[in-house]
Amino acid sequence: MDISTVLGIVIAFGLFATSITLGGSPAVFINFPAALIVLGGTIGATMVNYPLGHVLGLVGVIKHAFMKKVEDPASITEQFIQYANKARREGILSLEPVIKEVDDPYLKKGLQLTVDGMEPQTIQEIMETEISHIEDRHQTGADILGAMGAFAPAMGMIGTIIGLVLMLQDLDDPAAIGPAMAIALITTFYGVILANVLFVPMSGKLKTRSKEEILVKEMMLEGILCISKGENPRIIEEKFNSYLPPKIRRSSD
């Protein structure tokens, strides 16, 4: 569970709710027609802009903003030094039993290609293609949420126009002015809140998560290539350290 995502949403909506409660009745901010305009319009525009499969997969993408756990880059260094030492002492085939214990599909694939005796250059081409596709999938999810962040305020403005039109049509009926004006203002409120508290921040979180995961994948690729070339574990350590900030770099001294 990503605490910062959950905590950020709770803090934002909690403070909004508190300020609304202190200023009056929260019920005045609940408007079903306004919610339909903003949510329905945002979802509809997103479906027009992206293939249906991408939109339907958005639930899984959003889940990554809350649940995705990226492996610690420092632990990757320790892991590959162990692999390299084992391969140098017992041969590359000694890593075959290790593969069965690996959970990460990317790492498992890379180690299997190495054990199968594939050339380092071929391994690099295959694994870099894998990274590229992973990055593209992550970018698509973040782009969809970013687009929803742009659509939501626009739908709020459409709702405002609808509310104003309804209000102007019934100026001779004072009882109808209030509900129409509520739609006009609440839709803008809903659109801005959804965009700036949920959609745009989640898009940013997914982009950050993607960078972290790609960094780990690049480190794995570097380690796999080093093992396939039979390089010294000390060299692997130094190469991995170049990916990490100084304060978490591994030192063999």
pLDDT value at residue 232: 85
Q: In three state form, how does the secondary structure of 71-134 look?
A: CCHHHHHHHHHHHHHHHHHHCHHHHHHHHCCCCCHHHHHHHHHHHCCCCHHHHHHHHHHHHHHH
Q: Residue 24's CB: how many other CB atoms inside 10 A? A: 9
Q: How far apart are CA 104 and CA 78, in angstroms?
A: 16
Place of tokens 């992206």: 50
Give the pLDDT score at 251.
Answer: 63
Q: Look at residue 78 in the predicted model and tell me its pLDDT.
A: 85
Quick one: pLDDT at residue 129?
95
Report whether 120 contacts 228 (CB < 8 A). Answer: yes
Place of tokens 């997103």: 46
pLDDT for 33 equals 85
- DSSP state for residue 160 in the 8-state scheme: H
Q: Which of 135, 145, 148, 152 is nearest to 213 (CA)?
A: 135
Q: State the chain's mean pLDDT as an integer.
A: 87
DSSP tag of 70: P
| pLDDT given at position 235 | 86
Low-confidence ranges of the chain (pLDDT < 50): none
Q: What is the pLDDT of residues 194-228, one digit of tens each?
A: 999 999 999 999 998 889 889 899 999 999 999 99
Residue spans of the domains in the chain: they are 1-30, 31-253
CB < 8 Å & 24+ apart, contacts of 235-238: 236/77, 236/80, 236/81, 236/84, 237/77, 237/81
In the numeric block, the tokens 């085939």 are attached to 93
H-state helical runs in the chain:
3-23, 32-35, 41-49, 52-56, 58-67, 73-90, 96-99, 105-115, 120-169, 174-193, 200-228, 233-241
According to the model, what pLDDT value does residue 247 have?
Answer: 73
